[in-house]
């Protein structure tokens, strides 16, 4: 079914065993600008998983954008030994390695010492997303940057990487030179299209000279930056056609979005609300005009999507970034006819992009081993199988049961309701969030393959636990919702979870009292607005959704704005009386009064479920709590703790 994905391909002098590649993405697994054993372990895991090509995360190359705490730094020979070790390790598994070079230009959000550094770009056009006014790069500095690209490419070649990729899109420095809206220069790098192309042309020519013909040289471009101030697709295609004629480039890699605006940025790391494979048509448009191979990436998480892109000749290779974070064995499973076992990425952006942008190692809520390969090591079968009882069938309990069984323990999983999933069932029921249910679907598949004894509609009492006689009890019973302790009279006060479960009747005019500032209030607001309610969302954070990953939040707020939801920040819920809802400004202390209210919907702090506290009175059970049973948090912590507790059994 997926034979086309398994066909080899040549990118310049580099032969690649199949059509799937791991695109460049930040990992925060380097340190001090150089490669670490953690980063090598991360990429080697994906090489062993069968992926055809790995392109290492974007490396900086010049002191004007050389933040070694956040990026690998190819502006120094210190990068060479680690890159060489990484490349040799991955090639030993059959996977060649490219390295990407980039400079953000005016898009600087980092600092060396807490003060704002100078940002350099083609011109002093203000950067919308980071609110930075860059310094127009002096002519001598432009030529210096060109040489720095070539020197950095040379270091990658000296490290024996198989190829070099130049990031020329996404609104970063090279794109800022190409775009007449961000390039107002009067020298040889500004004005005409050819002059604006000169910067990139000189980089490619000098990089090719430096790395020679036995290394691959490619560029990554953006046809649609999802912002109204970008180059249009036709202009980008013309640039690629011109570069192909120059003869330096071996391939073109296509991505969407831009770092220059919130709308553009969310398409760089598209959440589940963005269509799967949405960049494929952009790649097809370029492929009609160039003869070199065209690569594409962007929200591709299933082999059938990748197969369709290749079979329809929209691209020659397909990139899987988050899909390989979620399941490094993606390609092996395809090749072995086990595609139905793939742990599909759900586009939540929580532990991958969320970790990276918070300067923590990349991981995955479904696969916490990602980014922890070196730390966790290899799972080993136990020499002393034990009887393990898992109580609670949410993601924490499911993961604990899977891992315990994989390690050879005898596992029973008891869930008091008629299905597994816990709070995932709530999250997936909201508009546009059905894909979140993949957390449960993937864990269910793993449970079946691990041969876990699953008991549904099973509420255990002391006698039942004694009869099972477990060696270990893992308590994963989650959390329960609760209403805030405030005075409300003459207006309905309704728990948000009741609404998601369709267990409540809601009035026409709704005020949402949002304590959590997470997916719950955003989702309920969208649900009620789409059902025709007039919705006011009152959040006690600086913005609705403050607690969740910014890309997901920003996209969701845009949806709510389009639906007419009124949003107010810094609003602490105070109570309600006779059709009014009362709030207090979190910093100013003034009253905020909402009139003409039929229902107040509460998104308040849940409470850890304590219904099995009696277990602590029983002897010799070896009880351990995980997930929300310890303290209410998110699915990421639930799955991580499920993994860790059973890994240590």
- Give yes or no: residues 417 and 510 share one domain: no
Residues 507, 597: Cα–Cα separation, whole Å: 8
Q: What is the CATH number of the domain that holds 195?
A: 3.20.20.70
In a domain, 128, yes or no: yes
119-135 residue pLDDT tens: 999 999 999 999 999 99
The yes-or-no verdict on residue 619 having pLDDT over 90 is no
Residue-range definition of the domain harbouring residue 586: 487-605
- Give yes or no: residues 160 and 253 share one domain: yes
Confidence label for 620 from pLDDT (cuts 50, 70 and 90): confident
pLDDT at 33: 98
- Give yes or no: residues 288 and 338 share one domain: yes
In a domain, 418, yes or no: yes
- Give yes or no: residues 461 and 500 share one domain: no
Query: Which among 129, 81, 72 is positioned nearest to 105, based on CA atoms?
Result: 129
Backbone angles phi, psi at 286, to 5 degrees: -70, -40
236-262 residue pLDDT tens: 999 999 999 999 999 999 999 999 999
Query: Which among 45, 46, 42, 20 is positioned nearest to 29, based on CA atoms?
Result: 42
For residue 391, with 0-12 CB atoms within 10 Å meaning exposed, 13-18 middle and 19 or more buried, which class applies? buried
- Give yes or no: residues 370 and 418 share one domain: no
Residues 6+ apart with CB under 8 A from 211: 153, 154, 156, 157, 164, 217
pLDDT at 459: 94
Residue after which a domain boundary falls, among 354, 376, 398? 376
As a whole number, mean pLDDT of residues 370-394 equals 96
In a domain, 381, yes or no: no
In a domain, 440, yes or no: yes
As a whole number, mean pLDDT of residues 365-380 equals 96
What is the longest distance spanned by two Cα atoms in the chain? Answer: 85
- Give yes or no: residues 48 and 183 share one domain: yes
Confidence label for 581 from pLDDT (cuts 50, 70 and 90): very high
- Give yes or no: residues 466 and 503 share one domain: no
In a domain, 248, yes or no: yes
- Give yes or no: residues 218 and 114 share one domain: yes
- Give yes or no: residues 361 and 460 share one domain: no
The yes-or-no verdict on residue 617 having pLDDT over 90 is no
Residues 6+ apart with CB under 8 A from 155: 74, 76, 77, 79, 80, 83
Tell me if 280 sits within 8 A of 311, measured CB to CB: no
pLDDT at 347: 97
Residues 400, 404: Cα–Cα separation, whole Å: 6
The yes-or-no verdict on residue 542 having pLDDT over 90 is yes
Instruction: Tally the domains of the chain.
Output: 3
Q: Say what percent of the chain tops pLDDT 90.
A: 98
pLDDT at 556: 97
Cβ neighbours of 302 (radius 10 Å) = 17
- Give yes or no: residues 471 and 357 share one domain: no
42-101 residue pLDDT tens: 999 999 999 999 999 999 999 999 999 999 999 999 999 999 999 999 999 999 999 999
The yes-or-no verdict on residue 34 having pLDDT over 90 is yes
**Polymer length in residues for the chain:** 649
Mean pLDDT (the chain) is: 97
In a domain, 566, yes or no: yes
Query: Which among 550, 94, 494, 168 is positioned nearest to 357, based on CA atoms?
Result: 550
Confidence label for 589 from pLDDT (cuts 50, 70 and 90): very high
The yes-or-no verdict on residue 1 having pLDDT over 90 is no
Q: What is the CATH number of the domain that holds 410?
A: 3.40.50.720
């Amino acid at each position: 079914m997926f034979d086309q994905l398994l066909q080899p391909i040549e990118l310049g002098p580099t032969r690649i065993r199949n059509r799937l590649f791991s695109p460049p993405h930040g990992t925060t697994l380097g340190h001090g600008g150089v490669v670490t054993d953690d980063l090598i372990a991360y990429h080697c895991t994906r090489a062993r998983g069968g992926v055809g090509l790995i392109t290492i995360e974007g490396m900086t190359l010049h002191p004007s954008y050389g933040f070694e705490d956040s990026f690998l730094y190819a502006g120094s020979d210190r990068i060479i030994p680690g890159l060489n070790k990484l490349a040799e390790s991955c090639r030993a598994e059959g996977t060649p390695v490219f390295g990407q070079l980039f400079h953000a230009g005016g898009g600087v959000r980092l600092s060396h010492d807490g003060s704002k550094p100078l940002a350099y770009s083609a011109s002093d056009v203000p950067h919308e997303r980071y609110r930075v006014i860059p310094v127009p790069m002096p002519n001598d500095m432009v030529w210096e940057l060109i040489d720095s690209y070539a020197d950095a490419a040379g270091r990658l070649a000296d490290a024996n990487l198989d190829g070099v990729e130049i990031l020329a899109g996404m609104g970063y420095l090279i794109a800022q030179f190409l775009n007449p809206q961000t390039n107002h220069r009067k020298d040889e790098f500004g004005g005409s299209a050819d002059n604006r192309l000169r910067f990139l042309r000189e980089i490619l020519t000098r990089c090719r000279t430096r790395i020679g013909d036995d290394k691959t040289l490619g560029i990554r471009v953006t046809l649609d930056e999802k912002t109204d101030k970008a180059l249009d697709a036709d202009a980008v295609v013309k640039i690629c056609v011109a570069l192909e004629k120059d003869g330096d480039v071996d391939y073109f890699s296509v991505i969407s979005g831009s770092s220059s605006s919130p709308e553009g940025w969310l398409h760089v790391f598209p959440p589940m609300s963005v269509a799967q494979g949405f960049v494929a048509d952009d790649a097809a448009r370029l492929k009609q005009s160039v003869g070199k191979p065209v690569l594409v990436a962007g929200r591709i998480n299933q082999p059938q999507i990748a197969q369709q892109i290749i079979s329809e000749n929209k691209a020659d290779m397909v990139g899987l970034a988050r899909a390989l974070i979620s399941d490094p064995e993606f390609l092996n499973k395809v090749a072995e006819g086990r595609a139905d076992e793939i742990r599909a990425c759900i586009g939540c952006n929580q532990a991958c992009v969320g970790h990276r942008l918070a300067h923590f190692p990349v991981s995955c809520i479904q696969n916490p081993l990602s980014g922890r390969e070196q730390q966790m090591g290899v799972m080993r079968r136990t020499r002393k199988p034990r009887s393990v009882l898992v109580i609670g069938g949410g993601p924490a309990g499911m993961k604990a049961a899977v891992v315990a069984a994989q390690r050879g323990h005898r596992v029973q999983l008891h869930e008091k309701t008629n299905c597994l999933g816990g709070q995932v069932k709530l999250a997936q029921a909201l508009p546009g969030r059905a894909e979140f249910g993949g957390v449960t679907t993937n864990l269910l598949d793993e449970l079946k393959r691990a041969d876990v004894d699953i008991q549904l509609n099973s509420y255990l009492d002391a006698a039942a636990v004694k009869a099972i006689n477990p060696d270990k009890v893992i308590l994963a019973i989650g959390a329960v919702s609760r209403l805030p302790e405030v005075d409300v009279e003459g207006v309905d006060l309704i728990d948000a979870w009741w609404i998601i479960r369709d267990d409540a009747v809601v009035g026409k005019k709704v005020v949402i009292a949002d304590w959590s500032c997470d997916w719950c209030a955003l989702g309920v607001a969208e649900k009620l607005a789409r059902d025709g309610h007039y919705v006011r969302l009152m959040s006690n954070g600086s913005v609705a959704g403050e607690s969740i990953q910014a890309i997901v939040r920003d996209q969701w707020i845009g949806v709510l704005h389009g639906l007419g939801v009124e949003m107010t920040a810094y609003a602490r819920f105070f109570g309600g009386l006779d059709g009014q809802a009362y709030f207090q400004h979190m910093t100013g202390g003034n009253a905020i009064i909402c009139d003409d209210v039929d229902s107040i919907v509460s998104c308040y702090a849940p409470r850890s479920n304590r219904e099995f506290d009696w277990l602590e009175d029983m002897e010799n059970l070896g009880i351990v709590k995980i997930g929300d049973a310890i303290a209410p948090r998110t699915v990421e912590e639930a799955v991580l703790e499920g993994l860790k507790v059973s890994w240590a059994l």
